[in-house]
A and B are shown apart, each in its own frame.
Chain A
Amino acid sequence: MSASWKQLLSQVLLLLVSCRHVNTKTPSPTAPALAPLPTNVSSVVLKGKSHTENIQLLNPVNLTLVCIWTGHQNTAPNITGHWRKDGEEIQSSRRSVQVDSQQYNMTRVFSIDKEENLGNYSCVFGDEAKIDFILAAPQFDEDRDKPIISYVGDSVGLTCKMANPDPNTWTWYKENGTAKELISAEPQRYEIKNTNNHTKLLVHNLTEADSGVFFCGAVFAIHTTMRPVELKVITFMEPLKPFISILVEVVVLVAAILLFERCQSKKKVPAGDGTTADQKNMLPQGDDNASEGSSSMRQRKV
């Protein structure tokens, strides 16, 4: 009887140890997620030397990455493969991979439940082949690298769009030194308008202090993707300078031309029959007048 009790005790102990072991291997997330994480599988077959696969994740997930490499002509019976995260080798991931019908197969399950778990995962076959899996939250389509210009006292709208998929919600931050300050709606100052796939931050009563970088955040369960939007607030003096300079040029030129014409016409008037002088200027020859049989010429200013 004591032997069976000892057996039971050892089994219970073993169970407890393995439970604790299971606990350290897959730590539960900080939120009370009693439900297990969903699973997903991503599999890549590599024929050449390297390949990169982009995987978009919205929510925490248990991700199984499967790497299959068809290898060279002369396939060795086994090869040492290991996994890397962001270029650094994952501890105790190095193992020997057996060839199986001309293919090497490496599989590993990763628990992606926090922002830190996103990144670049690679499976490396010896020194010969590598498959990269880039795990990331949805990114913005394109960056508007040009700043948005607005004027002191005016209002401006800063927009961010995310084509697919729609984020859970949107947040806005303003860069203050190196930190980001959350912006919340204030009457007469900040107004946030959100729809499913785009957000607009309206800033009223702009001042020069409002210049800087704003960040719009698309919030997903796993990560908040940020995008910088630069705002520049200028006074009306800035465009006024080229405006005034061009206007001055116009006024000077017009005055100069009209004055010059007035001087020219004054010079012509004292020359007796000024109109004859004009005719001589304009016509190559005036003989044909007589041949037409007209008695007098009539001048018309156009």
Chain B
Amino acid sequence: MCAGERGRAAAPDGGWGWVIVFCCFMVTICTRAVTRCFSIFFVEFQDHFGADYSATSWIHSLVDCTTMLCAPLGSLLMNRWSCRAAVMLGGVLSSCGLLLSSFSSSLELLYFSMGVLTGLGFALCYTPAIAQVGCYFRQRKALAYGVAMSGSGIGTFVLAPAVQLLIELYSWRGALLVLSAVVANLCVCGALLRPITLQEEEEAEEDEGAEQCGEKQLCDKEYRFLLLPDFLGLAVSFLVLASGCSLPFVYLVPYALSAGVSHQHAAFLMSILGVIDIVGNVTFGWLTDRRCLKPYRLACYIFSVGMEGLCCLFTPLLRSFPLLVPFAVLYGYFDGAYVALIPVVTSDVVGAPYLSSALGVVYFLHAIPYLISPPIGGWLVDITGSYTATFFLSGAALLASAVVLFTVAGIRRCRLTVGKHKPLPLSPSDQSRRFDAFNKQPASQSVAA
């Protein structure tokens, strides 16, 4: 919880802020990229434990789901103790999880150590690190987030061959051992996340008429943003979004192979997707920080999600490598774009003080759809015999998410233009700042955002 609400920049927007961005970048590498690299171990697990593909892929689902499900726990620890403590604890937990996995003698123990324990550790690191970036940046928030979130793409690029090399040198046990040491670097990132001493308006607290929220007691003031209609709309859109966004990553390669594309070309498609994802992260973040686009940040987010949905709907028509390359480029770019904007849009809607708790809830909403949508996609492939239904589901979910958000923004705008000075739950100054993203306010106020 940080930053004053007013226009004056309580956040440095630079200086130590860039160190924080670097730390968040490293945290994203050590959590998201390492999660993606787990699938490299599956062949080894299948050989060693005599398991089949679905049994080993549970590990990936468990770690992804636990990371997202326990995100509110991460933000809770950040509010109670500090960002530093939460990230360092997360680093220790995930490192221990991987260490335990390297000595594992059964697949079930791997589910616990590599799935649940490591996932919990990652959850404690991911949300606090992202929230901390929001504390340090105001003007260049989207760019900072773009750079920080590009860690998952760059990390996958770098870690995948490195993990492969480790497995060749030391077999999967040794590779997991070395990986646990690499993940322990989360503690270093945590140590660098210097807490920022910020100002807070007493006015805001007087308005709410509540006691100063002690750091030790659970205060429902922290979760008041949940009642905001805007946040509810945002939450529904995230829920629907998460149901569709992971499917193309999982099913692009099998679809390309079924359409007659060679193995090397299909792998190249995934590489294109990954690299353009990174480009989308950084460039879209930089773009939406420009003065001309800042008031329309939510519109940019809706646009990128909608474009992704359209790309997915057209996929079943693309049945050769030269046609799938533009799809990979477009989809990768907009995927990077919306991922960088999630924390920005959330912070725009709920305001900076509630960012960490809100991010916890946002990532929590991603958990169950991430877990169940790939198997549902696979089930669709099995019963229809083609990938069309899966891509349609993905495209429809993404478009629905964009439509929900568009509707909520539209309703808000209509209400504000009709009843401009209607009293709203939070103080009017908060309200007008909060809806900069929805309305075309004069430049002076939007610059302050």
Contact = CB atoms under 8 A, between A and B. Distances in A.
A complexed with B: yes
Contact of B187 (A250, A294, A296): A250
Contacts of A302: 1-2, 82-83, 132, 135, 195-198
A5 interface: no
A298 B194 contact: no
Interface in B141-200: 168-171, 173-175, 177-178, 180-182, 184-185, 187-188, 191-192, 194-200
B47 interface: yes
A185 B251 CA distance: 43
Contacts of B203: 292-294
B170 A149 contact: yes
Contacts of A298: 199-200, 202, 205, 212
A32 interface: no
Contact of B184 (A146, A247, A278, A292): A247
A26 B143 CA distance: 84
B200 A300 contact: yes
A119 interface: no
A261 interface: yes
Contacts of A150: 171
B180 A250 contact: no
Contacts, number: 118
23 contacts: A146-B168, A149-B171, A151-B173, A159-B47, A239-B175, A243-B178, A243-B181, A246-B182, A247-B181, A250-B184, A250-B187, A253-B191, A258-B191, A278-B197, A282-B10, A283-B8, A285-B8, A292-B203, A297-B200, A298-B199, A299-B197, A302-B2, A302-B82
Contact of B202 (A243, A283, A285, A296): A296
Interface residues of A, number: 44
A278 B199 CA distance: 10
A254 B188 contact: yes
9 closest pairs, A vs B, by CB? Answer: A239-B174, A246-B181, A149-B171, A257-B191, A239-B170, A302-B2, A253-B188, A243-B181, A254-B191
Interface string A225-264: 0000000001010111011101100100110011001000
A267 interface: no
Contact of A283 (B10, B168, B175, B191): B10
B188 A257 contact: yes
| Interface residue SS majority, chain B | helix
Nearest to A275: B197
Contacts of A258: 191
Interface in B182-235: 182, 184-185, 187-188, 191-192, 194-203, 205, 212
Interface string A273-302: 001001100111100110011111111111
Given A149-B170, A239-B177, A295-B202, 16 more contacts: A148-B171, A159-B47, A236-B174, A243-B178, A243-B181, A250-B188, A253-B191, A258-B191, A282-B196, A283-B10, A283-B199, A284-B9, A292-B203, A297-B199, A299-B199, A299-B200
Interface of B: 1-2, 6-10, 12, 47-48, 82-83, 88, 132, 135, 168-171, 173-175, 177-178, 180-182, 184-185, 187-188, 191-192, 194-203, 205, 212
A43 B205 CA distance: 94
Contacts of A293: 203
A212 interface: no
Interface in A120-158: 146, 148-151, 154, 157
A282 B173 CA distance: 47
A300 B198 contact: yes
A279 B10 CA distance: 9
B225 to A, nearest CB: 17
Nearest to A241: B178
Nearest to A146: B168
B170 A238 contact: yes
Contact of B197 (A151, A282, A296): A282
A284 B10 CA distance: 8
Contacts of A289: 199
B8 A284 contact: yes
Contacts of B180: 243
Contacts of A238: 169-170, 174
B6 A157 contact: no
Contacts of B194: 261
A295 to B, nearest CB: 7
B202 A282 contact: no
Contact of B181 (A250, A257, A284): A250
B432 to A, nearest CB: 15
Given A159-B47, A294-B202, A254 B181 contact: no
B185 A250 contact: yes
Interface in A6-65: none
Contacts of A254: 88, 187-188, 191
Contacts of A300: 1-2, 197-198, 200
A183 to B, nearest CB: 20
Contacts of A239: 169-170, 173-175, 177-178
A90 to B, nearest CB: 42
Contacts of A148: 171
A151 B175 CA distance: 13
A299 B10 CA distance: 12
A148 to B, nearest CB: 8
